């Protein structure tokens, strides 16, 4: 009876340890990749992500900025965040591979690119 009890205790401990690692295992992939807007610049200015990745921009400057897709020749023709104030955010998911250039409408020297593979 002693060996059976010891086996039962060991089996329960192993089961709990195994289930615990399944239940409490946290995801290691973030929900999004962040781009900071600070000092009139996008950081990183060149970002490479896989298709299906969400990218979130956060404006740390005290002035308003936009995240506007399309080159300077076609300003305003693509996706646009609208004017984001201090700590404003904009998030989008890149479903298709490609090169996505963007800029800030009020500050045309602020440019960056997202490369989706």
Domain-wise residue ranges, the chain? 33-116
**Model pLDDT, residue 96:** 93
User: Are 74 and 99 within 8 A, CB to CB?
Assistant: no
The string of pLDDT tens digits covering residues 24-74 is: 455 566 789 999 999 999 999 999 999 999 999 999 999 999 999 976 555
**Model pLDDT, residue 104:** 96
The architecture of the domain spanning 33-116 is Sandwich (2.60)
Question: How many angstroms separate the CA atoms of 108 and 84, rounded?
Answer: 15
Question: How many angstroms separate the CA atoms of 4 and 1, rounded?
Answer: 5
> Is the overall model pTM greater than 0.75, yes or no?
no
What is the average pLDDT across 94-106?
94
Using left for φ > 0, alpha for ψ between -120 and 50, and beta otherwise, residue 5 falls in: alpha
């Amino acid at each position: 009876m002693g060996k059976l009890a010891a086996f039962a205790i060991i089996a329960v401990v192993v089961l709990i340890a195994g289930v615990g690692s399944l239940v409490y295992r946290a995801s290691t992939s973030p929900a999004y990749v962040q781009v900071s807007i600070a000092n009139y610049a996008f950081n990183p200015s060149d970002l490479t992500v896989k298709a299906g990745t969400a990218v979130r921009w956060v404006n740390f400057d005290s002035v308003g900025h936009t995240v506007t897709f399309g080159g300077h020749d076609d300003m305003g023709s693509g996706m646009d965040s609208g004017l984001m104030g201090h700590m404003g955010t904009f998030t989008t998911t890149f479903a298709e591979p490609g090169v996505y250039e963007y800029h800030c409408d009020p500050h045309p020297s602020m440019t960056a690119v997202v490369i989706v593979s």
